[in-house]
Amino acid sequence: MSTEPEAPAPSTAGSPSSGPTRRTFIATTSAAGGVVLAGGAIGGSLLAAADEADAAPAVPTSRICLTVNDIRRTVTVDNRTSLLDLLREHLDLTGAKKGCDAGACGACTVLVDGQRQNACLTLAVRMEGAEVTTIEGLADGARLHPLQQTFIDEDAFQCGYCTPGQIISGVGCIQEGHTGSPEEIREWMSGNICRCGCYVKIVRAVEQAAGEQK
């Protein structure tokens, strides 16, 4: 039986953990399990992969300050984090939904400096100094935003998954003044998909809230 000779373990100085590296872990468990690796080929490739993983550069992070629903937040995130993941996974604001994670459904819509934006397509690191509004920030205490109320009045949802994005997008649509007719609302809300097909009622809710705000 042959096993790969154990290579000297890389130094862990300066590493946050003093535990075994992937390389030593794989080498140790292979030997202890008595696994016969033909010609050492499999073990060799495992160790090579472990070396590569150990040698991988640290993921770059950034510290950003932004305002979310009128609360100032300072967070340190992996530079690849989307605004949607920042909201949902770092700030526990799960109102904005992850539908497609690719900019195609509008379930993640939030307002950034008053403009509608797909949070899944927005890098969190670009939010330095931004004002973000999510569905959690619309109501005034116990008083719902007028559009939240008309969604209830018009029964403009079924499963509710798309609803936070629809309402935030509707708020943007009203602020932009694209509510002259049901057709115009439909056009300017077309980035928000409702798989339950509640479009007629959604348009009616936006139309009604726009009328109330005039």
Contacting residues toward ligand FES, per CB under 6 A? 98-101, 103-108, 118, 120, 157-163, 194-196, 198
Burial 27-50, CB ≥16 within 10 A → b, else e: beebeeeeeebeeeeebeebbeeb
Q: How far apart are CA 141 and CA 110, in angstroms?
A: 19
149: number of Cβ within 10 Å: 16
Query: Is the CB of 44 or the CB of 160 nearer to ligand FES?
Result: 160
- Per the CB < 8 A criterion, the answer to whether 75 and 90 are in contact is yes
Contact 62, 77 (CB under 8 A): yes
What are 70's two structure tokens?
């009128």
Least distance to ligand FES, CB of residue 82, Å: 9
Shortest Å distance, C-beta 121 to ligand FES: 6
